[in-house]
Chain A
Amino acid sequence: MFEITREANGTVSLHGRLDASQVNNARAVFDQIIESCEIDFAELSYISSAGLGLLFGTQKRLVDGGGGLTLINLSPHIREIFQIAGFDNIFEIRD
């Protein structure tokens, strides 16, 4: 089960499990992001390389335009995946 919502302040909230079967649902929202914003992971329990790829592509596009994503409230397991992937070098990550 995966849900993605865009809040009035622009924050994107992820809920549930972002796996390869759900990544296109997430992409529909991420493709609408055109300026810097926060991605809230508080309710996300799982992510695989499919979701990492979507985040990377969005970040690359925003950085090219002078912006970027800020990732907040990552669980310890997801944070570890980001560290292994070297994503702590390419995203701002905050608690």
Chain B
Amino acid sequence: MTAVSGQFRRDIEAIDEIFALLETFTDGQKIDDKTAFCINLVVEELFTNMVRHNEGGGDRITVSIERQDDRLHLELVDNDVEPFDPATAEVPPVDAGIEERRPGGLGIYLVRKMVDDLNYDYEAENRRMRITVTKTLEN
């Protein structure tokens, strides 16, 4: 199948169910291990970010992935939430020594470094956040 989608409870413990969905897709599409690792990480970071920052949001978060030729398109949709653009997340000082570093802030940074494109859209009228990601497959 070239696309899969699922709705998952707003709970960190739902990650295993999400990984199972992604594995169905990556196995079916014969996605290489490196890209499959990347997809898992990107979805986990974006999903956990939604869970943590949008307490009180809708019960379910929708995760979808689709392949179009050599490109993968990921989408996460969260309903009844406040806007949060991941592009505004603080960039951690990754070149600094441990004395200057603080915990946190790595998740969205990793996502941005590992994908080709990360887009954010917020529909104020129905309080819906949509994050889309494009990742080009390696040969």
A53 on the interface (CB 8 Å rule)?
Answer: yes
Given contacts A21-B13, A49-B45, A53-B103, contact A84 B34 (CB under 8 A): no
**B59 CB, min distance to chain A CBs, angstroms:** 18
A–B pairs, 30, beta carbons within 8 Å = A17-B19, A19-B15, A20-B12, A20-B15, A21-B13, A21-B16, A46-B37, A46-B40, A46-B41, A48-B48, A49-B106, A50-B48, A52-B106, A56-B98, A56-B103, A60-B98, A60-B101, A77-B34, A77-B37, A81-B41, A84-B114, A85-B109, A85-B110, A86-B92, A86-B94, A86-B101, A89-B94, A89-B96, A90-B97, A90-B101
| B interface footprint on A28-61 (CB within 8 Å = 1, 0 otherwise) | 0000000000000000001011101100110110
- SS of A interface (majority): helix
Q: How many residues of A contact B (CB 8 A)?
A: 23
Q: Is the CB of A59 within 8 A of B98?
A: yes
Give the complex CA separation of A82 and B113 in angstroms.
12
**A44 CB, min distance to chain B CBs, angstroms:** 12
Residue numbers in A under 8 Å from B48 (CB-CB): 20, 48, 50
Q: Is the CB of B98 within 8 A of A53?
A: no
Q: Is the CB of A53 within 8 A of B106?
A: yes
| A interface footprint on B1-36 (CB within 8 Å = 1, 0 otherwise) | 000000000001101100100000000000001100
A63 on the interface (CB 8 Å rule)?
Answer: yes
Q: Is the CB of B12 within 8 A of A21?
A: yes
| A interface footprint on B89-110 (CB within 8 Å = 1, 0 otherwise) | 0001111111001011011011
Residue numbers in B under 8 Å from A81 (CB-CB): 41, 110
A48-95 with Cβ < 8 A to chain B: 48-50, 52-53, 56-57, 59-60, 63, 76-77, 81, 84-86, 89-90
B75 on the interface (CB 8 Å rule)?
Answer: no
